[in-house]
Structure 1
Amino acid sequence: MIFLTGQDHKDLRSHIAPNFTPRELSTYTELQQLIILKHLESLERLSEASPAEGIPLRLFVRDLNLETSQTEFVGRYLSSEARERFRVDYNDFNAGLMTIPFDLPGFAFQKAKLRCQRMVKMLIDCVSQSKTRMLEEKLREMKYTQAVAHEVVSYRPPVTLVPHIVKEFQLTESYTIPKGTIVFPSVYESSFQGFTEADRFEPERFFDKRQEEVIFRRNYLAFGAGAHQCVGQRYALNHLVLFIAMFVTLLDFKRDRADS
């Protein structure tokens, strides 16, 4: 979707968008909670085995998110072997996606392209069998946790790059970005522009009275912008809200400060 433009891009988004309506999102949450709980229990076991050692969350959360999406959208139609192969392919795909798109042997982009083709074949097989059952739950009343989720995704990435295909855009007086150019704006740098006291962790900025993600929409790039804005952003935020709520409710934890 990142590299498609024009009608092909619009058609693809129109096919995917119905999966992320408020009604559909409300059906995903019970299964999300079950998977998050399973991973939190595994995290607790790891902590009990080595109580003096900190546990880095980055890879833990990545695997949690991948299992949630696999289970949510293709149900139980991936075997354990297929899930592991999908996990490896998806990691290679993400790594190649953030590189310069040289479609040549030996380059990460081509490796990502090949991995994507294999994942598509697996998913096509899953779709033909899929009869996912989901139940409803409301998240909209969790106002503060919703605000924390917005704050996390927009203000605390290390150095995040979001690819975006632009229309012709005058960057400076002497240079205009040509139409169709792929640019990688920094979410980290953008999150410090416009927002009130941007260096403070302040979820209240996303409350109804302030709505800084709306007022400073141009700098709220956690999910991209324009025609290529992430179609699954509400699903991702709902998932993050559930994870935060369950993490702080079910676990006792402390933060170890790392060097990087």
Structure 2
Amino acid sequence: MLNGTEVLLPIGEADFIQWNAFNGSAMMPGKPMTAVVGFSTISYWKLVAALLVLYLTWEQAYFLASRKKKSGKMLPGPHYAVPFVGGVIQMVINPFKFWEDQRLASFPGLSYNSILGKLMVFSTDVEVSRKMLSVNDESSLLMAVHPSAKAILGPNNLAFMHGPAHKAIRKSFLALFTRKALGTYVELQDGIVRAHISQWLAANEGREIEIRPFIRDMNAATSQHVFAGPYLDDEAERAKFSAAFMDMTQGFLAFPLCMPGTQVWKGKQGRLFILGVLRKAAARSKAAMQLGVEPRCLMDFWALRCLEEIAEAAAAGMAPPGHTSDEAMADTVMDFLFASQDASTASLVWLTAVLAERPDVLAEVREEQARLRPDPSATITGEVLNQMTYSRQVVKEVLRYRPPAPMVPQITQADFPLTEDYTAPKGALLMPSLIAASMQGYKDADKFDPDRFGPERKEDVTCAKNFMTFGFGPHYCVGREYATNHLIVYLAILATSCNWTRRRTQASTDDSKNWLYLPTIYPHDSLITLHRKAVPSA
């Protein structure tokens, strides 16, 4: 007993004993000492407070050390890391301001922040960003996606693949985007886009609508029809298929908890339903291709290639590649469908919103369309689309001006040197900014100017390294030509069938200039009024 305080002594098999001077207890002669289990309430909270102070001190020290360069200078960013949560609260409340502040803090170079106790290194340096995206070694870097990504997308998603298996499946994808395949897709895209624009006009001509959900539905229908159309022939199943995709998307916007009843759980169930439908589609597609049916969708073009790979493996006495199974094909086509959904929808919305306020650009698009397509009701073919030089410039400028996926996060698996002066520690979250890259190098980069990609200025050549809308390195988007063609088809049909205007919200003029993170970026408002365009008389 020391001045009425507790004394802890090691004894026998017990770790400690507690002896309180005021409890009136006394050691009985000849009796062994016994441990009193537990601490007093005051001691318990003292311990909690001590551990909390210790953790907070360690956290601040960690971020201080982690942002320090070899030269002794510090990466710019917050003066201190907000305990436990970091910048998450600001990022959720106002993501546009959060990421703009981060961009301005780092430009042109690197900055730091903390996200739920994890170090985030944000890059506006084009060369460093390309370095972040160029690694295909899972011992160095891995793509870091949403905390719920594996629950929603499944462990076999392309985003989680690396090494030989990843290279093999991407090589197999070459058969999906040949000129013949892309030409088939263009004609399918034409039919779906026309049908949806006709529906918009029939139901809403002259009425202001928020165009985003309409475009999303059109894009979902197009993707499904192009990727697996003939095999999604059950009406009830197709309706549930679309709803399942919506559940998956909503899962990424919800709190990352996968338990029955949560949105993440619903997203997972949606994925399982979609995989079941696509497994049947893959089997039907292979059967059709074996019978000599002409390919009618992406699934068919891939089934043809997979059957060839299976035959090649059999001739060599080897097992067929893993990606040729019905299950693997279903997983991959689901990935294509999901990847094409938000990014393409965002770009289609930006295309509509921007051109509503650029009549000069729209006039040039219409001149080109009239020259190449004197009969605007005729189906667009791949051959005609390839001649739409100016329309392609417009689409490419939309993709540069507002890259739909603003960042491609990576997570370090070991200390990773980013510059000669700074090495990101193991476990750091790397954020290469595609938006920052697209706003450097180009002349008047903050202006929408399709002429920059014309034959006179050729900024698509001189600034090629800055155009990273489709990523860079081993995970470079394999469907870039498909996505670009989809935007061109939509632009061609919209320009020749509609006039449209956009109203910016008056109550929040500043917000109207910014964009939303959903999680791809959209205009803050895309309030559009459509009118049917008069067909010129012969």
Query: Is 161-170 or 84-93 further displaced after alignment?
Result: 161-170
The answer to whether the 8 Å contact 2:407/2:435 transfers is no
Counterpart-to-counterpart distance in 1, 2:257 and 2:172? 27
Aligned 8 A contact 1:89 1:115 in 2: yes
Using CA pairs under 8 Å that are at least 6 residues apart, name the structure with larger relative contact order, 1 or 2. Answer: 1
Q: Could you say if the C-alpha distance between residues 221 and 108 of structure 1 is closer, same or farther in structure 2, counting changes exceeding 3 Å?
A: farther
Q: 1:120 and 2:297 equivalent?
A: no
Aligned positions, number: 254
> Structure 2 CA distance, aligned partners of 1:98 and 1:22?
37
In 2: Cα distance, 1:99 partner to 1:172 partner: 39
3-state SS in 2 of match to 1:40: helix
Q: Indicate if the aligned counterparts of 1:94 and 1:112 stay in contact, CA closer than 8 A.
A: yes
1:2 aligns with 2:159: yes
Which residue pairs with 1:77 in the alignment? 231
Question: CA contact under 8 A between 1:93 and 1:116: conserved in structure 2?
Answer: yes
Q: 1:104: Cα distance to partner? A: 5.2
The 1-side partners of 2:269 and 2:467 are apart by 32
Unaligned runs of 5+ in 1: none
2:421 aligned partner: 173
Bigger shift: residues 77-86 or 246-255: 77-86
State the secondary structure of the residue aligned to 1:254: strand
TM-score of the superposition, structure 1-length normalised? 0.82
Distance across 1 between alignment mates of 2:188 and 2:463: 34
- Is the 2:411–2:430 Cα contact (8 Å) retained in structure 1? yes
C-alpha distance in structure 2 between counterparts of 1:41 and 1:201, whole Å = 28
The answer as to whether partners of 1:93 and 1:113 remain within 8 angstroms in 2 is: yes
Q: Contact 2:177–2:479 at 8 Å: present in 1 too? A: yes
CA distance in 2, matches of 1:109, 1:163: 21
Letter in 2 for 1:69: S
CA displacement 1:104-157 (0-9 Å, x = unmatched): 547866664553343222112112223553795312210000011111122135
Tell me the equivalent position of 2:479: 232
Alignment partner of 1:254 out of 501, 517, 526: 501
| Identity %, equivalent residues | 31
Structure 2 SS opposite 1:252: strand
Q: Aligned equivalents of 1:182 and 1:225: distance in 2?
A: 18
Query: How large is the Cα RMSD of the aligned pairs?
Result: 3.1
Partner of 1:56: 210
Query: For the pair shown, which has the larger CA radius of gyration, 1 or 2?
Result: 2
CA–CA distance in structure 1, aligned partners of residues 440 and 263 of structure 2: 32
1:196: how far off? Answer: 1.4
The change in CA–CA distance for 1:247 and 1:147 in structure 2 (over 3 A counts) is same
Cα gap change, 1:223/1:113 in structure 2, threshold over 3 Å: closer, same or farther?
A: farther
Match of 1:55, SS state, is strand
Give, in whole Å, the separation in 2 of the partners of 1:200 and 1:207: 15
Q: CA contact under 8 A between 1:2 and 1:164: conserved in structure 2? A: no
Q: For 1:15-26, what aligned pairs fall within 5 Å after superposition?
A: 15-26=172-183
How do residues 1-260 of structure 1 correspond to structure 2 at under 5 angstroms? 1-48=158-205, 51=206, 53-78=207-232, 79-96=234-251, 105=259, 112-130=267-285, 132-133=295-296, 137-138=382-383, 139-157=385-403, 160-165=405-410, 168-170=416-418, 173-176=421-424, 183-258=430-505, 259=512, 260=524
Question: Is the CA contact (8 Å cut-off) linking 2:173 and 2:478 kept in structure 1?
Answer: yes
AA aligned to 1:224 is G
Does the C-alpha gap of structure 1 residues 166 and 230 become closer, same or farther in structure 2, counting only changes over 3 Å? farther
Name the CA distance, whole Å, in 1 between partners of 2:194 and 2:408.
33
